[in-house]
């Protein structure tokens, strides 16, 4: 394989990896009935005029299976953090005792679990769409090389098979990750 083709493959693999990691990160914030500090990853608090993640303002710990404790270092910001969590619409109402904010995760109903599984499947499908897009872009670059005479028909066919193998590997990984998350969500 020539250098140009290798660069194209490296780019394709990077795009696939990026899509897969995005799926992983999306699954981290999905609530499965247990306390998960990652649910706060996208919650930003207005801290002296700067949007700041909660993890940079205090410590987030899991005290029990379904309770998250948030200890804010600057006590004057507790109300702002509580307000930001409430506005983030994560489905949990924060409570505070003046020093600590608590998030009590309710038990999930069967209906809510099924709703979450639909979301898990949707995220997986979006990941696969991104992966197919990476395949299309890669094949387009290889076709251009074939048109310009930099690749023969046989080399192009070989590259096409390799791209498909790569896509199959990553879509299988995405499916497996989705199955694992579905199992986790449906486990009572």
With residue 126 as reference, give the H or E element that holds it.
Answer: helix 110-147
Domains and CATH numbers, the chain: 3-29+109-186 (1.10.132.20), 37-104 (3.30.1360.40)
Pick the residue with more confidence: 146 or 32? 146
Residue 43: CA atoms inside 13 Å, Cβ hemisphere, count?
25
Hey, what are 42's tokens? 């996208």
Instruction: Kindly state the percentage of the chain with pLDDT values over 90.
Output: 39
pLDDT per position as a tens digit, 56-114: 888 888 888 788 899 989 888 888 888 888 888 777 888 888 888 898 887 778 888 88
- The band of 144, judged by pLDDT with boundaries at 50, 70 and 90, is very high
Distances (CA, A) of 24 to 106, 108, 116, 157: 23, 22, 15, 32
pTM (2 d.p.): 0.73
State the Cα–Cα distance between residues 114 and 120, nearest whole angstrom.
10
Strand, coil or helix: 101? strand
Give me the pLDDT at residue 138, please: 94
Hey, what are 164's tokens? 């498909």
Distances (CA, A) of 90 to 31, 81, 126, 141: 9, 13, 21, 42
State the Cα–Cα distance between residues 70 and 78, nearest whole angstrom.
9
Give me the pLDDT at residue 33, please: 67
- The band of 25, judged by pLDDT with boundaries at 50, 70 and 90, is confident
pLDDT per position as a tens digit, 4-13: 889 999 999 9
């Amino acid at each position: 394989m020539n250098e140009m083709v290798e660069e194209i493959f490296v780019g394709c693999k990077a795009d696939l990896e990026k899509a897969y990691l995005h799926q992983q990160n999306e699954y981290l914030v999905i609530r499965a009935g247990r306390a998960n500090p990652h649910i706060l990853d996208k919650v930003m608090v207005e801290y002296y005029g700067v949007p700041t993640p909660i993890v940079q303002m205090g410590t987030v710990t899991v005290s029990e299976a379904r309770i998250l404790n948030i200890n804010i270092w600057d006590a004057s910001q507790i109300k702002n953090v509580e307000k930001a969590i409430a506005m983030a619409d994560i489905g949990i109402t924060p409570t505070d005792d003046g020093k600590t904010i608590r998030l009590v995760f309710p038990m999930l109903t069967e209906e809510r679990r099924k709703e979450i599984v639909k979301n898990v499947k949707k995220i997986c499908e979006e990941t696969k769409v991104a992966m197919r897009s990476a395949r299309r872009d890669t094949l387009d670059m290889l076709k251009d090389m074939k048109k310009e005479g930099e690749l023969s028909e046989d080399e192009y066919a070989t590259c096409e098979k390799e791209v498909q193998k790569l896509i199959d590997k990553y879509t299988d990984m995405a499916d497996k990750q989705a199955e694992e998350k579905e199992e986790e969500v449906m486990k009572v």
